Amino acid sequence: MNTHSERRIPIAIVGLENAGKTTLSVRLQTGRYHQTLPTAGLDVEVIEMKGNIFQLFDLGGHQHFRQLFWKNYIQLSQGIIFVIDTNDTEKFDEVVDWLWKCLDWNIEAPLLILANKSDLNHVGLEKLIDKIRLPQLPIQNPNRSFRIFKVSIKLGTNLDEALSWFAQKTATNIGDSQIKLLGFYLYLPTGIPIASYLFTNGNTNGLDLDMIPGFLNAFDQFTSGMMGPTEGLQSLNTLNHSILMVKREGVLCAIITDKESDLGVTRVIAESVLTYVETAFAEKLSLFQKDGKIRFPKNFIIDFLNREFSTNVVFGSP
Ligand SMILES: Nc1nc2c(ncn2[C@@H]2O[C@H](COP(=O)(O)OP(=O)(O)OP(=O)(O)O)[C@@H](O)[C@H]2O)c(=O)[nH]1
Ligand SMILES: [Mg+2]
């Protein structure tokens, strides 16, 4: 059994020399402030943020390293953190120049700008936004997520909100990656099935469907024991399929895909389905109750997937 934690989301931390990038990386690793040295080249670290695993590229900000490394690492990252030393106003033109280079190299990735060292000055955020031409970003790509926060990485001021936003955005940014959805099951925590869908045209290609309820049950007990009653996520690989299970307080789901489908993408979709189901329960449970049982209309979730993930989900046989 694997956990989803094999998925590492690549993130680039960029910004001119002395901006506070390594201080941020160290804070993310240890939760504290430590004095740092200028980065020679780059450092790669693996950290956990808000339940996801990130691979951080802490890139040296010296002119030499900018030219050598930034483009490559920016291009392979799924999120960009750009750190600005707001105390170093003389370098602002250079900051703008490199910020826009980065944005051209990767026009998809969510962007977090940290206006750092707020403990040393009172630089107005609006002025800075204007200066770095942030309002022009939607012209480049209207779908890019971006935000700017005034922070002190040294003191930790305002960082939590900034990083929560960023972690959530990068973890759910699946672009046009596709999974092949073979089926899914929804269960109440008591083990009672409330929906099952199969898209395999009867050809389950070696998958023993009868084993799923039993496996879910074992999974449920396993995660209850290990992680408490509301957390949990496991995956199982059979010869031809991947089965991902996600558990919430009120509902559990198992998503079956072909082996080639990316587990991280499947997970984002599974989480969205569960949020949708939970919201529907909370708002109009009576709609789903019939003869004391809970049942989902056949198309309830398929419509949702077609609406929200039409480019990401292909229904079909393995
Ligand atoms: N006052 C203050 N100092 C900070 C803050 N963040 C970082 N620093 C200091 O700024 C200096 C440079 O920090 P680093 O994190 O090493 O900078 P860097 O961006 O990694 O620099 P390079 O590796 O050379 O690109 C260090 O002395 C930090 O302690 C902050 O929020 N406030
Ligand atoms: Mg550094």
If asked whether residues 208 and 230 sit together in one domain, one would say: yes
Domain ranges, residue 200: 179-315
If asked whether residues 189 and 163 sit together in one domain, one would say: no
| pLDDT in the model for residue 2 | 36
**Distance from the alpha carbon of residue 172 to the mean position of ligand 2, in angstroms:** 28
| pLDDT in the model for residue 84 | 98
What is the tens place of the pLDDT at every residue in 251-267? Answer: 888 888 988 888 878 88
* Whether the CB of 153 sits within 6 Å of ligand 1: yes
What CATH number does residue 247 fall under? Answer: 3.30.450.70
| pLDDT in the model for residue 104 | 95
**Distance from the alpha carbon of residue 28 to the mean position of ligand 1, in angstroms:** 14
Question: Over pLDDT 90: what percentage of the chain?
Answer: 49
Mean pLDDT, range 176-188, rounded to an integer: 87
Residue 229's pLDDT band, with cuts at 50, 70 and 90, is: very low
* Whether the CB of 156 sits within 6 Å of ligand 1: no
| Alpha-carbon gap, residue 69 to 61, rounded angstroms | 10
β-partners of residue 293 are 290
- Region of residue 123 (left: phi > 0; alpha: psi -120 to 50; beta: else): beta
The 3-state DSSP class for residue 169 equals: helix
Ligand 1: nearest atom to the Cα of 35: 29
If asked whether residues 167 and 191 sit together in one domain, one would say: no
Mean pLDDT, range 115-125, rounded to an integer: 93
**Distance from the alpha carbon of residue 50 to the mean position of ligand 1, in angstroms:** 24
Sign, Cα dihedral of 178, 179, 185, 190: negative
**Most confident of the ranges 73-87, 166-180, 217-231, 267-281:** 73-87
* Whether the CB of 27 sits within 6 Å of ligand 1: no
| Alpha-carbon gap, residue 233 to 262, rounded angstroms | 15
If asked whether residues 264 and 166 sit together in one domain, one would say: no
Give the predicted TM-score (pTM) of the model: 0.71
| pLDDT in the model for residue 227 | 43
* Whether the CB of 8 sits within 6 Å of ligand 1: no
If asked whether residues 206 and 280 sit together in one domain, one would say: yes
DSSP one-letter code for 195 = E
Q: Return the axis-axis angle of helices 263-288 and 300-308, rounded to nearest 10°.
A: 140
Q: Round the average pLDDT of the chain to a whole number and report it.
A: 85
If asked whether residues 185 and 160 sit together in one domain, one would say: no
If asked whether residues 33 and 129 sit together in one domain, one would say: yes
β-partners of residue 250 are none
Mean pLDDT, range 68-91, rounded to an integer: 94
* Whether the CB of 86 sits within 6 Å of ligand 1: no
What is the tens place of the pLDDT at every residue in 274-296? Answer: 888 888 888 877 777 777 777 77
Report the largest interatomic distance among the alpha carbons of the chain, rounded to a whole angstrom: 72
Closest by CA to 131, choosing from 82, 80, 89, is: 89
Mean pLDDT, range 75-98, rounded to an integer: 95
Residue nearest to atom 13 of ligand 1 (CA): 20
